[in-house]
Amino acid sequence: MLMEGFTRTEIKTSGARIVTVCGGNGPPVLLLHGNPFTHLSWHKFAPRLTQEFTVVATDLRGYGDSEKVPGGDDHSGYSFRAMALDQVEVMAHLGFGKFMAAGHDRGARVLHRMCLDHPEKVERAAILDIIPQHYLYSHINKEWATFSWHWFFNIQPFDMPERMMGADPDWFIERKLAKTKQGLSFFGKEALAEYKRCFRNPQTIHAVCEDYRAGASIDLVHDEADMKVGRKIECPLALLWGATGGVGRNHNPGPAEIWKNYAANIVGAKALPCGHYLSEEAPEETYVELRNFFKASGKLS
């Protein structure tokens, strides 16, 4: 059974109905998944974290079984600002005014925005395998554009990418996720089946596109406003990335150096022996790093 010991509920925020699972006791930790996943992307070690923490994992708006809200003409319905507010309201509903958090991929971008918009809420943040999008769109190179082609595909106007992904969603998911020689071997079969089930929903595919369209428009407006006033992540920040993934291979300077322009208190930065999908490819290493970071008052182990 995936996510054993967790209780599933649906929490209505001011903007969307958010699928939420919660388990354990101790300081609260929020886990935010990436594209094209659900809360199950944490299933390999989230139950272990519940031995020391109260663990909350959600489906981001538009993803999994969470509500698919309208994006709007400016796509702001899927901005990281809107997604971050969902998560803050979920945690408040559960009684947590302050919490620690980890985010991977799109979830890491939600967490980045959350740290800027709600600094009083996030006590410690772990960012998994991303470079800030403000930097990426300002420093496009051939290696990144080739490896992360879907960034440019998903932002095309409605409904071209929706039709193309929707024509054979299972094939698309398998092709997108199997970027390395390992293929799909490290994904749990039950979790992968759930990712496919959710992605077969045309509304999910549209929400994914709206997420990326927002990332290339309204989110950049928000980012630029922060850069102009020098706003950075202030809470203790841990950076983790896959040594063989796009973040680890396609950027010079490396992620730790890039993030110095966006975060004031980086307490740990480490490449793990995997590609992009840290929690699925290297669950033990990811668990150890997150557990130690959330337990520690200083450096990442």
Which residues are identified as catalytic? 105, 276
For residue 158, the Cα-to-chain-centroid distance in whole angstroms is: 24
Beta bridge mates, 55:
23, 29
Q: Which two tokens stand for residue 141?
A: 């190179």
Distance spanning both ends of the chain, measured CA to CA: 31
For β-strands 99-104 and 28-32, DSSP reports them as parallel
C-beta separation of 16 from 67 below 8 A: yes
CB neighbour list of residue 48: distance below 8 Å, 6 or more residues apart: 287, 291
Dist CA 162 CA 175 (whole Å): 16
Among 141, 111, 147, which residue's Cα sits nearest to residue 126?
111
Instruction: Find the helix or strand (DSSP H, E) in which 214 lies.
Output: helix 202-215
Among 173, 153, 264, which residue's Cα sits nearest to residue 215?
153
Dist CA 252 CA 211 (whole Å): 27
Question: In which residue are the tokens 């490449």 written?
Answer: 271
C-beta separation of 158 from 206 below 8 A: yes
